[in-house]
Amino acid sequence: MSDVTFPSRVSVREVGPRDGLQNEDPISTDAKVELIDALGRTGVRRIEALSFVHPKAIPQMADADEVWEKVTRDPGIRYSALVPNLRGAERALAAGFTELEVVVSASDTHNQRNINRTTEESLAQLPSLVSAVHEAGGTLQLIVSTAWGCPYEGDVPVDRVLWVVSRGLSAGVDSLVYGDTTGMATPPRVTRLVGATRSSHPDVALGLHFHNTRGTGLANVYAALELGIDDFDASVGGLGGCPYAPGASGNIATEELVYLLEDMGIDTGIDLRAMIGVAQLAEQLVGRKLDSQVLRAGPAVR
């Protein structure tokens, strides 16, 4: 038997309202507000609510300011927003967000397709972005996307990911997340990258963002738990994908993640039945059947 000690508690960030909806046909402002408010009643303590991007790039987020004005904000929940650049950060900060995220792809080709600049060009803007956010009293998280693979370039070397991380930490980012944008990660790959990161940067706050494109999402979570990772993104109903990553289906479903963790005796603070109810709502709002198996099957005992 293994002597692995798993975390006693895991922090789950719900990313459905942002990452989940950006790959769907646009839904109304009120529908987005309804989803965010419903998620806030499940016990989840962190919600990635919006992104402040140009509407031509991601039209699904064109009404970000209007959505945020209407959301019933729970003081016990940490709401965050994704920004692509300094202008986006200024909008998010003006709206009242203090937790911001910026995405940089480890793959140069994906970065070009995603935000029309090279990885190096994105990294070069980080110091000024960090300064602006910190001066406003906020924090900036670096999300390294395509950390395990790129739909255009294939496998992404661990050294390439660590190069992006080093540049981000030198710029002063507050934390990291590795994004499995195309669902190419497997448990051995997770072990290699997380292990290399811990060796190079043992004190960095690290979260993981898995997609279930190839059916390995929860297996990857288990491998990460064995390594002591206690911070994961997930999306209600398995909503999500990347508009600039062909074939990249949804994130791991929040209710599936909670079901696994509960059975392992790991606390999330999230009410599983309530989250399944929100997954049913999400399915209605986007107008299609979602991929979550726990949404279909329900909890173990009905």
* pLDDT, tens digit (0-9, with 9 covering 90-100), for 11-49: 999 999 999 999 899 999 999 999 999 999 999 999 999
* pLDDT band, very low/low/confident/very high, at 250 (cuts 50, 70, 90): confident
pLDDT band at 301 (very low <50, low <70, confident <90, very high): low
Superfamily of domain 11-297: Aldolase class I (3.20.20.70)
d(CA 8, CA 16): 25
Residue 1 pLDDT more than 50? no
Spacing of C-alpha 95 from chain mean position: 21
Helices (H), 116-215: 119-135, 158-171, 187-200
Distance CA 236, CA 294 (A): 11
H-assigned helices in 40-185: 64-70, 86-95, 108-115, 119-135, 158-171
Contact 21, 60 (CB under 8 A): yes
Q: Which residues pair with 103 in a beta bridge?
A: 143
Pairing status of strand 206-209 against strand 139-145: unpaired
pLDDT, tens digit (0-9, with 9 covering 90-100), for 90-101: 999 999 999 999
pLDDT computed for residue 83 by the predictor: 96
Q: How far apart are CA 23 and CA 52, in angstroms?
A: 15
259 has pLDDT over 60: yes
Amino acid making up residue 144? V
Residue 65 scores a pLDDT above 70: yes
Q: What's this model's pTM, rounded to 2 decimal places?
A: 0.95
Annotated catalytic residues are 242
Does position 10 have pLDDT exceeding 80, yes or no? yes
Count CB neighbours of 284 within 10 A.
11
Helix axis angle, 158-171 to 187-200, nearest 10°: 40
CA 220 to CA 226: how far, in whole Å? Answer: 10
What are the boundaries of each domain within the chain? 11-297
pLDDT value for 76: 97
